[in-house]
Amino acid sequence: MLDGAWRVASQVAVRPEPFGALVYHYGTRRLTFLKSRALLDVVTVLDAHACARDACRAAGVAEDEMSRYEQALATLAGSGMIVSRDAA
């Protein structure tokens, strides 16, 4: 997960909120909450980095928090909110 290259899916919109963000997938009509601004920062810069780990570092995620963020990104990938850039 962290070594892969990811981006927000094309049918997905991200709306920042004081607590983090709302993420909505127009295709599946699923809504997900990002429960921190830090995770929003990670998601926002995913596309600009070679891998998710770099995106997390750029967003200021500490090394000992990496696994929690990996889990969150995996959940987002599982629901199609973010997609791999590697396959393309």
Interface residues toward another protein, by CB under 8 A: 13, 15-20, 22, 24, 26-27, 29, 31-36, 38-39, 65, 68-69, 72, 75
For another protein, the closer of residues 7 and 25 by Cβ is 25
Shortest distance, CB of residue 21 to another protein, whole angstroms? 10
Residues 6 or more apart in contact with residue 4 via CB below 8 angstroms: 51, 52, 84, 85, 86
**Alpha-carbon 75 to chain mean position:** 9
Shortest distance, CB of residue 30 to another protein, whole angstroms? 10
